[in-house]
Structure 1
Amino acid sequence: MNAAQFGKETSGTGAFVRQANRFTKRITRAGTDGFVPEPGRYRLVVSLACPWAHRAVIVRELLGLQEAIPLAVVDPIRDEGGWRFTLDQDGRDPVLGIEYLSEAYLATDPDYTGRVTVPCLVDTTTGHVVTNDFPQITLDFAGEWTEFHAPGAPELYPEPLRAEIDAVAEPIYRDINNGVYRCGFATSQEQYAAAFHELFAALDKVSERLCHNRFLLGERVTEADVRLFTTLVRFDAVYHGHFKCNRHKLTEMPTLWAYARDLFQTPGFGETVNFDHIKRHYYGTHGQINPTGIVPLGPDTEGWNSPHGRG
């Protein structure tokens, strides 16, 4: 079994190093890469367990792109072949006709040997992957698919705020989104400790920011909030124990816990969370961390719907 198939790439120092995105073409109104927004043409393939894919699901919901961009959901449990379409009838995606997402990757690049990742957008006319560039996918949903946004859809990446959003989102990615993985997949005590301290320093910093703002950039939800939420909503269920991010639980960080509940109760967020898929994926596919494969029964998730007091 290749460890890279299960999301584990480490340097010689024992530090986790995330694989670069292989397919980075964009779907734009100008069609610069040969792809333009076209309802029904592209299939968004996601795992409901994956925080990077979860971003795309949330943004799709917030912008009202459900009909324009059809969704394919893979099984939360990966085997040696990677992400599987076992949730669909006969174990095949009904549109793409494939059993494994790797089939689309190899149809696009027969020499591809890296890890197959979600989210990705697949062109249904060719069966080829257009992009698995998860940071850019949501930005393009916000900026390039505007013709198909629902009336009143929020501006998640407005031009006047882009520089500030980017500045806020960069350390969130480095130290929080990816930071939990740097903790969980570190193979040396030193690299784990460094990632652990950077993670909680960054959480403390955003918590301080949120003491003065309802959301990261004030009174409106932006792309930055989406990116932070997908890590926070998984924190107590998997990262605290499974990835050893255990200085505090989310529920023990009052400002972040209230902020996360505020987002969870915002239409487009909470209904996209699947704690069953999240727990089964992390505890069931990271054999090097959890060799027994036992999935914890907790934590209690009822608190996510309790009043948050941030209105």
Structure 2
Amino acid sequence: MKSLNYLCLLFVLNSAFASDVVVETDFNTGRGILRSVGQQCLVYTPKHVVENSDGIYISSPHVKEAKSTILTEYPQDLAILQLAPEYQSMCSSSSWRDDGNRVRSILNGVKDAVLSFRKKSGSFTEYQLIISSKDLHTYFYVELKSANRQFMQGMSGSIVKVGEYPVGMLISVKDNIGKVLRLDTIANISKSVVDSFLSDIEVLAQNSKDLGAYKSINNNKGNTAKPKQINSGKWIFSGNITEGQTITKTIIAKGNTAYRLTSKKQSKSVRVGIDFISPSEKVIKDDDFYTGKDNYTFGYGATDEGEYEIRITGIKGDIGTYHFTLEEAA
């Protein structure tokens, strides 16, 4: 039974990094890589697969023939497709990884790779490859290890990976040598288009040197829920709370900023505790008071940038109300 469970787990892990989707037009068939950006689900695929086509249809193991449109094209034989909003959930199975940040070091030290070919049925086949040569940037080239196998029509757009890390997308084949567009190149040349879809918090997270500062982004890769937007330096929290209940709010701090919290006097008073939690899970300020107190005010400082949690806990009393205003003080 343990062996069976291990094999099932291995299949799930491997299939997650096969080419994400099948791309079909009236004239061509290829593959593509999904990428979730903001509230959009995008598809990278070779330009020659979709050019001069009126209809472009995307199929995954769970969704068949979702309609898409060409968002933009690049001379590196790359196109970005945009799926309709109702198919946004397809990006939950995306193989996209961290903008290909490890591609350069991997290609400098590894010769073996695998091409993962997604069939329209949803199953996949793997082809063992040898990385035969590489350009200074943009492309590298692969050959099949086995003389009994060959590249087939429709493979363009398939993911090439090393271990479980995707390093590129197969663009074309000539004389049984595959031309692969590097994943970091795809990220670089499409950056301006991708950035136009990012939410405010995703832009901050992308430019931050602290990978742990924006937990909601890093913990929800592939999640299609709308990311939180940044407020303009003022937040208002209000509602009901009772003893033992904890309510958590999140704010985005720019770092090296002071904040002031004011509690508006409530007729239904309840004793509450407030904890301010930094991105590194450190309690930087805590206090407790009755919400019936007249405009209780205190402040705290956010040294680091990122997402801060405000945890409001009912300590004593029946159900009561709270109304807090949090503002940047400096």
TM-score range, shorter chain: under 0.3
Looking at secondary structure, tell me which structure has more strand per residue.
2
* Higher RCO, Cα 8 Å, sep 6+: 1
Greater percentage in helix: 1
Structure label with greater radius of gyration: 2
| TM-score, normalised via structure 1 length | 0.24
